Structure formats: structure tokens, C-alpha cells
A and B are shown apart, each in its own frame.
Chain A
Amino acid sequence: MKELNTEHIRKKYLLWILFTALLLVLLVLSALISITIGEVNISVFDLPGILGQEGEGVEYAILNKIRLPRIILGFAVGGSLSLAGVILQGIYRNPLVEPYTLGISGGAALGVALVIVTGLHYAFGSFMLPLVGFLGSLATIVLVYSLGLRNGKIRVQSMLLIGVMISFVVSSLMMFLMSVTSAENLHGIVFWMMGSLDEPNIILIRVALLASVIGLFLAYLFVKPLNALRLGQEKAKHLGFNTEVTLRILFVTASLLTGICVAVAGVIGFVGLIIPHLMRIIIGSDYRILLISSFLGGGIFLIFSDLLARTIISPIELPIGVITGIIGGTLFVIVLSRKNLRFN
């Protein structure tokens, strides 16, 4: 037999490692830039000093109480949404699916709107809106999931359509609520829906970060079936994978991640659609590298977007969705017009 030629394989793995390293560098860089720039600019070189002298000082408070939590939340939410996007596109084998396609964000928004309209949000303090948002998205997930099952089997395409339809119904209900409520409540709802990384509650930030890491871990347990699913459900099954179990666990994982993100940060669009596609174009469709690069890429993208959102017309803060939409969308169109998008 011929000598095994492994040069190109080594090159491929080396490329993956380098790409991950590059993303990690970009992540650190985005965090550093983001932490130093704002209403008060702080030099990178002063950072160790300020963070070292714990407790006192305005600068310490800005860093520790405002900027750092935002960066962590941006990383967690960006990573989670992007990861959820890449998983959902993989299991639905559809390039247009993003975390919000299935109505998960709509469900959360409806829950929040209901609470705001009825005035209940003053009842339980700052946990109320995230909690209701999460319950709303959970309800949607259960609905889509159970309607998508028949005879105990997942019908992938109908599930997608059901999700889209539920999304429409929910947004109509939202509009109904918004049309009958007071201007003040309306402002509250719209403000929540626009999404923001401004989250004072450190516990929620921790939950989001923990969820994103667990999500990444869970997704990696199914990285081989995900790779096989690129050929379609039937062929993946012929290769020995239990596609039913894979689809279920990945669907639930991606949906819960999305639900948590929406509950904590509101509706931040485009991340879950653009970053996975960008990564597919750059590094290919192998989920072994695609999952981690989408996760890191999403985090980086959202940290940068948030930086722009709060500095571009400072002191006014733009909704972060405006930035992700404009920058992300434009970037995506530019890349796409130069390169063919190949999807499964």
C-alpha cells in the first residue's frame, strides 16, 4: 500500500488551531478596548493599578460595576446566540434559520409585554422581567417542540414552519397589547424589545455566562452527529447515529440558550444568523471548528457592537440591535456578494 500522505491533514488541524488562537486574541483585544473606552477613558496601562486598589475610586467602580459586567454579558450573549444559530442551521439544514425564527424571542417579548401592561413588573423587583421573559420563551419552546412531534418522531421541516407561524401569532398578540396600552407602558415594551447589555444584576450575568459555556460543552458532545447531519438525517442514520436523540437534545439546548439570552438582554438580532455564516465561509462546515469559532466570533462581535452602541453618539446610548443590524448586515452582504454561500 502507498505511504499515507498526512501532510494536508496536519495543515488542516494547524489552521484550526491558528484560527482559534486568532479569535482568542481578538476576544482579549475587544475586551481591552471595550474596558478602556467610554465616557471616561482609561489607559490600558493603568488597568492593573486601578483593579489592584480595590474598593475606592470612581475608576474602579466604572470598571468593575459597569464595563466589566457588560463585556462578560456581551461575550455570553453573543456566544450563545451565535452557537444557537449554528446548531439550529445544522439541525434544520436551512441557512435562514436563526435563534429567533422559531418564535422564542416572540414568546419572551409577549410575556414581558403582558407583565408590563398589567403593571405586575413593579411587584417582584428586577428579577421579574427576565423571569417572565424566560417563561415566555420556555412556553414557546414547549409548544413548538410538542407540535413538531408526531408518533414520537421529530418532523424537522414542519417544526420549522410551526415555529415561524407561532412567531407570527405571538407578534400579532404583541401588537394588540401595544395598541391598547398607555404610552408609558408602550415605551417600556419597546425599550425592552430593542435589547441592551445594560444589566445591573450580576446574578443574571453569571447565569448567562454559565449557560453559554454549558451550551458549548453540550454541543460538542454531539459534534460528530452534527457533522454527519450535513448529509441529511437519513444518511446520518445510515452512518450509525441516533439522529432523533441528537435533534432533540440540540434543539432544546439551542432554544434554552436563546431563551436565557432574550430574558437577560432582550432581543438582539442578527448575531445568530451572521456570525455562523461568516465562520462557515472562512473556516468551512466542519462542526469541530465551526462550533468554537462561532461561539468566540459571536462573543467578539457583540462586545464590539456594544462598544459602538455606547460610544458612537455618546452620551446617548444606541440600542445594540441597531449596531448589530447595520454593521453585521452590511458586512454580511459584502462578504456574500464576493463569495458564494454554500450550505449543505
Chain B
Amino acid sequence: MQHAPVQDGKDTEGDIVIRIRGLENGFGKQVVHEDLDLDVRRGEILGVVGGSGTGKSVLMRTILGLQQQRAGTIEVLGQDIASIDAAQTKDIRRRCGVLFQDGALFTSLTVAENIQVPMREFFDLPPALMDEISGFKVSMAGLPADAGPKFPSQLSGGMKKRAGLARALALDPQILFLDEPTSGLDPISAAGFDELIKVLKETLGLTVFLITHDLDTLHAICDRVAVLADKHVIKVGTIPELLTFDHPWVREYFSGPRGRAALSQNSGQTKTMEPA
């Protein structure tokens, strides 16, 4: 075996998984996105940041086809999502895993059954095997050993999120969409969450579209960060690039007290790790 095991062979730098051009979105008279361009490269973790109400979630929903854009094209895995038929859409959906903000678990199913929903939908697997797989996915998402048979109403907010992640990962998707995965988690859990996503990205070659407000997450795992402001993506780049980028919101975001704290903490970590 000569290559990373999971990436369909080709892994050229700059291989684009999601390509958005000239996107326009809005509700009634309110315009959310205008002339928005964005590329997501294969195998990267792209952080999407922006103030409240800048349309981060709307952008994610549009890429997923949950919302119709007014204008512009979106290509996911090389296919224009507006012009493909139902079978192709289903195929793309199978390759995408989504974690919604509050987990969006099916409330009438247990956690384990929630994780098995995509498996049942797409494959014909023996129940015992699905139990095995959902068992280790539950553990992978960091849920306690007795979480499998519980119903979502019996879980805390953070646990719902983890269960949602386990469901999103059920089919080992190529693209993982995460909508504020670490919000509402305690800092230790959030760090664990970051670590898990990083390991999965490195071992499975996942591409991650990550909406977050969490500066620690940005520093810890994001390869690039896209900043949404003024109805479009004003800048995509690594954090050092963004630190020098001159825009009032970006400056405020990264250089505010929280931004500085996250930065110093992160650089402290890298320094201590360097000698080793």
C-alpha cells in the first residue's frame, strides 16, 4: 500500500471539494449573501467565522441543499448541486455528514438507533454488526458507556452534540459539516472534541466545514479560516495571515481580549512542544 488509505488515490494540493461562486441568498427583502465565493480544499479543516447574523448557518444550509440560493453556483465533489438529479443528490448526501447546532437527533429514537439511521438507509447490514459499529461510534464521540440506549431527552446539551457527531460520522463521510460543535461544551470536552476531529481528519482524510465562534478551536485545528462579513467572504487564509489582515471586524475578533488569550495560549503550547 503506497498511499494514504482513504483518499481515492489522487490528493493533489488544491483539489477543491466545495466550490462556491457568486452566491446570493436572502429572505424577502433582506439580503444575507451577495457575490460570495468560497473554495474548500480536500482534506482541510476550514473554519468559518463571522459575527452573529452574517449567514454562516445559511451558507451551510445552502451548500447542503436545504435552502435554495437566489443566484450563483455551488459545486460539491465536482457536481453542481442545483442541476443534479435525485439519485446524485442522494449519493452526495451519503458522502456528507452534518452536525446541527443542537444535534438535531431524532427524539423518538435512542442514541444508538440515531447512529444506525444512516446505515439502515443506505446499506443492508446485519443488526448485530450495526450494534457493534454504533457502539464504538458512541465511544468515539466521547459519550459514556451507558449512553447508547438513552433517548435524546435524557441527555445533556453537550451529550446531544456528541451523539449528533456520532450520527454524522456513522457512514465515514468525506465532508463533515459542523455547526458550532464546541459551543455549550465545557473547555475540557471542547478540547477533546477538537482532538477527535483532528484525528479523524488526519486518518480518514476528512474535509471539515466548521462553523465556530470558538477561538481555541480555530487555533487548535483549523487549516484555514474564512471570514464572513459584509455579505460575503472577505478573506480566507491561515490564522497568521488573518492576524495581519486589515478589517475592523477581523482585527477586533483576533485582537480582542479573548482572541489574544487564545493566541498566547496556543503559541505557548507550540513552544513547549517544539523541543520534543
User: Are A and B physically bound partners?
Assistant: no
